[in-house]
Structure 1
Amino acid sequence: MIQTKLDFYKAVKERRSMYGISKETVISDQKIEEIVAFAVKHAPTAFNSQSGRAVILLGENHDKLWNITEAALREIVPAENFQPTADKMESFRNGYGTILFFEDQSVVKSLQEKFPLYAEKFPEYSLQSSGMLQYIVWTALEAEGLGASLQHYNPIIDEAVQKIWDIPAEWTLVSQMPFGKPTAAAGEKQFISIEERMKVFK
């Protein structure tokens, strides 16, 4: 069983989008792998379909991801407006690693064939499951003292990612999570009142 430094509620509260991260880590690569494996195994999925997939990129592979992302963006963002995008790519590249999250469409398709009554809903269920997988990993990284953010540069990098890291064609890229040792605190977070967001009937 994975042991964390923070309790669950505190980790949920303190998890934030951290853009100031460094190429340092506060836990071993093995621990990072254990966290992701634990989340992949235990994240809820529709009909226990276990459709979530993950790829961990460290070292040169991590840098390569953000190099190809930057190159793809240079093709569509005007050069005179590119500096903020370049700065953002550099902030991700400054991290220790990136986790790629995928959903296996062969699993989704098999569910659609097996349960035709829910066929149109399974892609939605798949994304809900992926969101929970991402959240488990993100919160666990926070509990261990690492900062992360969630990015979505798909589909512009899908083909390159699939080719470079030999990703099965059935895996659809959902998001990218760069992480590393935090170098700056997150900004203050504002909250809408709970009364506007929750109802209770007794």
Structure 2
Amino acid sequence: METKFTELAKQRRSIYALGRHVKQTPDELTALIEDNIKNGPSSFNNQTTRAIILYGASHEKLWDIVIDRLKQEVPNEEAFAKTTAKINSFKAAFGTVLFFTETKTVKEFEDNFPLYADNFQDWSEQSQGNAQFSVWTSLAENGLGANLQHYNPLIDDEVRAAFNVPASWRLRAQLDFGSIESPADPKDYMNDDDRFMVFK
């Protein structure tokens, strides 16, 4: 059996030590990210996933927004210093993909297909997972590391204002990516018997 895809999936890890020693140009990476999102499956081909791709000062601006917002939530200076160090590791990366769901499209399909209306929100999340996995794995194939963060909804309003985000786009995740400065630790797997059932 062919296992190239499986081997690529194994390369897709959460890499937290990221840098900017990237051989690809922003234009090349943008094309790669856009192609992966466009070719990801979605229910009824409704294509609900949207993305904003940030580089340079815009990438740094995002993580400054996160730090400023979290300062309002973290209880003391010691905890905030740890939080800041963590966010600065994301800021040290080369770029960030902001993943959104177009809620207007989800609502249109709920209205147009009432028999399936209760499913379209769940299906949009599945589309998100498809897009995020595809982009992340494709970056790994090209020697780049990434990690997926979820500071939404805390940062939603600030991100919307900073990047002119349409009102109907709902922020779902932030994928920072860059050169791999230190590899991920070995991955542990749960017991297959607890995960899978096979009937023949």
Q: TM-score normalised to the size of structure 1?
A: 0.94
Q: Does 1:57 align with 2:67?
A: no
- The corresponding residue for 1:143 is 141
Q: Does 1:75 align with 2:77?
A: no
Q: Which runs of structure 2 are paired with 1:1-202 in the superposition (5 Å)?
A: 7-80=4-77, 81-202=79-200
In structure 1, C-alpha distance between the alignment counterparts of 2:82 and 2:184, rounded to whole Å: 19
Give 4+ residue runs of structure 1 displaced > 6 Å after superposition: none
SS at match of 1:191: coil
Identify unmatched segments of 5+ residues in structure 1: 1-6
Q: Which letter maps to 1:38? A: D
SS at match of 1:8: helix
SS at match of 1:18: coil
Deviation at 1:193, TM superposition (A): 2.3
Deviation at 1:177, TM superposition (A): 0.4
In structure 2, C-alpha distance between the alignment counterparts of 1:166 and 1:132, rounded to whole Å: 25
SS at match of 1:181: strand
In structure 2, C-alpha distance between the alignment counterparts of 1:101 and 1:58, rounded to whole Å: 15
In structure 1, C-alpha distance between the alignment counterparts of 2:192 and 2:81, rounded to whole Å: 39
- The corresponding residue for 1:4 is none
In structure 1, C-alpha distance between the alignment counterparts of 2:196 and 2:23, rounded to whole Å: 37
The two structures, once aligned, show a CA RMSD in angstroms of 1.3
Deviation at 1:9, TM superposition (A): 2.1
In structure 1, C-alpha distance between the alignment counterparts of 2:26 and 2:176, rounded to whole Å: 14
Q: How many pairs does the alignment contain?
A: 197
Identify unmatched segments of 5+ residues in structure 2: none
- The corresponding residue for 1:3 is none
